[in-house]
Structure 1
Amino acid sequence: MPAINPFRSMTRGCSGSARLWLMLAALGLLWPDAAGAERALAPVEVRTPRAPTPVVGGDGHTHLAYELHVTNYYRDTGVLRLQRIEVFADDDPTPLARFTGQELAQIVQPRPADQDATQVPIAAGMRAVAFLWLTLPDGRSAPHALRHRLAFVDDKGQPALVDGARVMVDPTPPVALGPPLGPGLWLASEGPGNALSHHWGSLVAVNGQLTIPQRFALDVFGLDPNGRALRDGAVDFSRSRREDWIGYGTQVLAVADGVVRDVRDGAPEHAPLEPQAEPDSLTAHGLYGNYVVLQIAPKVFVHYAHLQPGSVAVTVGQHLHRGQVLGRLGQSGNSNGPHLHLHVSDAATFEGSEGLPFVFDAYPSPGDWSLTQAIDPDAKFSPELTMHSAQMPLDGEVFGF
């Protein structure tokens, strides 16, 4: 008995488009949409390099932060235009989150050249990265897994779909930290939840690895009780000195007991807003200026950057206790104003490390603010103090210790 080609048998006498439809159906490469029509599954790879960990933010809600790497794999596919991302928790048929239109375009890199774009073009052989920030409904426990549905159209206007791309949620509790700074009022700038920040949005490709060390990083600026970042008399921030900035010279503290794994001192400081050359390397030495890296648990490292030269008070291998002074807040390294850069990662190095979520044991917060407002002498700060416990300050949150 001769061999039978099932595709030839099914498609004999059909038009070209009908033959393609039947072949895709036989291979299971069609998916019914909400209206019952069939869609081809998109020829893309979707993966999540690091599983998300639930963390409670300063807004009192539980969040999941992670990235989807979406690759238009085949050379002859042409441009695929991403129209929608939906995220489903476990087996729930209702989306936990949905990203479309300009909201979608704003959370994807590289961003469309058209600022008003509502679709994300991904050329053949190219990759886009979507930065997803999910907020769980109040009272809902974290899911065990997330499933993703991505809708595309190709160059001919034909729809295609990804349905799956499952990722397990990491149940590991975020690391708890004590105060990183002495008493004062502090602003979390370029912080967690901001997909446009230079922290979360900075993917580091080094030595065969693509990671995001600063996924949950904070740039911490000092404020006075009126929400100002500059001391009285320093009206024009463009002409300010380092000493004019609130917080400059404040003691930087160990957030937990631990062992010093890396330090640097002696790097010069810059003037505020002074143009800077490109860093020599994507490493702590090339970016941090004067810094301390403190290991506080297995594969948990706290990175402190931009310290004052001559202020680093610890050495490699030294065992520290929570609250011990490490140095003083300054403006060394890749920094345009005096502040403390703080993040937690799974390695002592900047390159090749993944940023980890963290919470502070307790802190009061008078509300939200921005660095733009903090340097505007006419901005009015109206604090409403609330207490926070085991939460992570989010982008734009003001907090104290």
Structure 2
Amino acid sequence: MLDKREPIIVEFPLRGEWLSPNTPGTKIPSHGTNKLGTRYAYDFIQVDWKRKGWPAYRGSLLQYLLLGIPINEYYCWGREVYAPCDGVVVQAKDGYEERERTNFISDLSNANKNAHHFNPQKDDVRSVAGNYIIMECGENVYAAVVHLQTGSVRVTVGQNVKKGEVIGKVGHSGNSFAPHLHFQLMDSSDIATAKGLPCAFKQYEVFQNGEWQAISNSIPTAKDRIRFHNQAIETIV
């Protein structure tokens, strides 16, 4: 840990293999800012571990730089997102359109614009978060899954959800540089004013020295090849 605060333990919100390029296991603030509750936030993508540079899409680097990549060519786009805790849905926003393809220049410009000029008093938080779900997981503890696929939100406000239930799908809505899942814990249900809370995952695996190693109550780094599978739920519920 790079911070003295004790992390809150939650279930990993995805299944299969993932990489976290932005994680509090490598730096805090993980996204370079404390705004919008992102101090301890994670980003998760899927990559091709066999290709040079671990690309997150099926096309070539040249295609990405010049023409962009259709979002359905990203490995993680449309993957199911799971509730990280037992809790109540306090916000569930859908219908915010995704850009149909990534484009290096425009996406970088959009990310910089939102990072430096977003005004929580007058701007729509969905311009940053896109489609999102916020769950109350405990007293003053709220989990947010952000940038979800348009039309994928499966829960409604007031709904009681059990950890491990499918609640949405990974998308590219809002201030998203490429399809990915943004996950964070906060002390408020209002993303615009919330402060981030540190969290760790109850169980997952890391690929080390040619084999998968079980990890408990820990935080992945930006270099870790991590996975979590359905059968693991039986050991943590």
Corresponding residue of 2:97: 268
* Cα distance in 2 for residues equivalent to 1:364 and 1:198: 21
Structure 2 CA distance for partners of 1:214 and 1:365, relative to 1, 3 Å: same
Asked whether the 8 Å contact 1:190–1:197 carries over to 2, the reply is no
Post-superposition CA distance 1:315-342 (Å, at most 9, x none)? 1111101111111101000011010001
Residue 245 of structure 1: CA displacement? 1.1
Residue 295 of structure 1: CA displacement? 0.9
Residue 308 of structure 1: CA displacement? 0.6
Corresponding residue of 2:21: 189
Aligned runs of 1:343-358 on 2, under 5 Å?
A: 343-358=184-199
* Cα distance in 2 for residues equivalent to 1:198 and 1:257: 25
Structure 2 CA distance for partners of 1:203 and 1:323, relative to 1, 3 Å: closer
Percent identity of equivalent pairs: 30
Structure (1/2) with the larger helix percentage: 2
Corresponding residue of 2:42: 218
Structure (1/2) with the larger strand percentage: 1
* Cα distance in 2 for residues equivalent to 1:192 and 1:64: 7
Residue 262 of structure 1: CA displacement? 0.8
Structure 2 CA distance for partners of 1:326 and 1:190, relative to 1, 3 Å: same
Residue 281 of structure 1: CA displacement? 3.7
* Cα distance in 2 for residues equivalent to 1:64 and 1:336: 26
Structure 2 CA distance for partners of 1:322 and 1:198, relative to 1, 3 Å: closer
2:88 is the counterpart of 1:254: no
* Cα distance in 1 for residues equivalent to 2:7 and 2:34: 22
* Cα distance in 2 for residues equivalent to 1:189 and 1:240: 19
Q: In structure 2, give the amino acid aligned to 1:304.
A: V
Asked whether the 8 Å contact 1:256–1:323 carries over to 2, the reply is yes
Residue 366 of structure 1: CA displacement? 1.5
Q: Which is greater in Rg?
A: 1
TM-score (norm 1): 0.48
Corresponding residue of 2:60: 235
Aligned runs of 1:303-342 on 2, under 5 Å?
A: 303-342=144-183
Post-superposition CA distance 1:149-190 (Å, at most 9, x none)? xxxxxxxxxxxxxxxxxxxx65xx4221112013x2101112
Q: In structure 1, give the amino acid aligned to 2:42.
A: L
Aligned runs of 1:21-170 on 2, under 5 Å?
A: 63-65=1-3
Structure 2 CA distance for partners of 1:393 and 1:193, relative to 1, 3 Å: closer
What SS does the corresponding residue of 2:126 show, helix, strand or coil? helix
Any gaps of 5 or more consecutive residues in structure 2? 229-237
Residue 394 of structure 1: CA displacement? 2.4
Structure 2 CA distance for partners of 1:196 and 1:322, relative to 1, 3 Å: closer
Corresponding residue of 2:33: 202
Q: In structure 1, give the amino acid aligned to 2:222.
A: D
Higher relative contact order (CA 8 A, sep 6+): 2
Residue 224 of structure 1: CA displacement? 3.9
* Cα distance in 2 for residues equivalent to 1:391 and 1:358: 9
Asked whether the 8 Å contact 2:57–2:69 carries over to 1, the reply is no
What SS does the corresponding residue of 2:46 show, helix, strand or coil? strand
Post-superposition CA distance 1:270-300 (Å, at most 9, x none)? 2213515434544642311000011111111
